[in-house]
């Protein structure tokens, strides 16, 4: 019960990483407000009385402010905000993405977490402590894991949590990010479906040392760590959970020398 009597908000909670995290938070004693454009009620139903479903847009300030108010009104405060909602924007190149693509991806993926910090931070500060977690990506670390707009948005999240951690100095509110690698969710469904249709499912995640893709629960476990007091001295950090993908530049294992396994 690492989150006993804590109050948490999880955006993008209708499926994938968000649903796995909301269920795990609740299993560890938290009351959870689940927010998504669709699927929030299904997640809340899976959790039971400890959950409240809200249909909302995590990149819209009125909706994010409303989530924080709901936490205070329903449960009496707020301890954890997992700003997880995001969109991929596909795999278009910079030359194929127009200004509207960039605007929408940045609105959800970067402005959304900024709004979470803006509205949740003061409430947590008044409460005396809190943990804000934002979903970034290995795409924010280097190229090759997403479109130009998506990668830029996630790099922005990594910078955002560092800046916010400094600006929340002295509040006992921690701000961190998680950088997932390839995880099987609705966002990556087309990648998994394409590989399976070609009989190449064994190729998924083959570029990382663990030679597999990840599961939503594996990111949820990282979120639980950052949400709990187990990470009480972790702040302004981007935690990479990618099977080792970002530990190296690309190389050919066959030509790596005799010491390679």
Annotation marks residue 119 as catalytic: no
Given 150, 192, 233, 256, which residue is catalytic?
Answer: 150
Please name the residues in contact with 173: beta carbons below 8 A apart, sequence gap of 6 or more. 121, 124, 125, 129, 130, 131, 132
Contact 179, 132 (CB under 8 A): no
Give kind and range of the element (H or E) at residue 69.
helix 61-75
**In whole angstroms, what is the distance from residue 47 CA to residue 29 CA?**
11
Per DSSP, the three-state class of 189 is helix
Q: Among 199, 185, 51, 173, which Cα is nearest to 118's?
A: 173
Taking CA atoms, 109 is separated from 50, 70, 72, 133, 134, in Å, by 27, 22, 25, 13, 9
Tell me the catalytic residues.
150
């Amino acid at each position: 019960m690492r989150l006993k009597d804590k109050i948490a908000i999880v955006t993008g909670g209708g499926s994938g990483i968000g649903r796995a995290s909301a269920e795990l938070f609740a299993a560890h004693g938290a009351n959870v407000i689940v927010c998504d454009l669709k699927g929030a009620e299904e997640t809340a139903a899976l959790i039971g009385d400890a959950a409240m479903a809200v249909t909302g847009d995590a990149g819209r300030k009125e909706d994010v402010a409303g989530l924080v108010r709901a936490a205070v009104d329903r449960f009496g405060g707020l301890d954890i905000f997992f700003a997880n909602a995001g969109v991929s924007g596909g795999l278009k190149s910079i030359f194929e993405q127009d200004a509207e693509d960039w605007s929408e991806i940045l609105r959800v993926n970067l402005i959304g977490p900024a709004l979470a910090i803006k509205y949740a931070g003061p409430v947590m500060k008044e409460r005396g402590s809190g943990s804000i977690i934002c979903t970034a990506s290995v795409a924010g670390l280097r190229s090759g894991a997403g479109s130009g707009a998506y990668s830029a948005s996630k790099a922005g999240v990594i910078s955002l949590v560092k800046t916010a951690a400094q600006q929340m100095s002295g509040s006992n509110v921690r701000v961190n990010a998680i950088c997932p690698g390839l995880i099987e969710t609705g966002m990556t469904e087309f990648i998994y479906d394409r590989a399976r249709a070609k009989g190449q499912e064994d190729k998924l995640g083959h570029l990382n040392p663990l030679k597999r893709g990840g599961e939503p629960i594996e990111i949820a476990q990282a979120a639980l760590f950052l949400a709990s007091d187990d990470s009480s001295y972790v702040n302004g950090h981007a935690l990479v959970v990618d099977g080792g993908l970002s530990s190296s530049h690309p190389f050919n294992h066959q030509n790596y020398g005799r010491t390679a396994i």
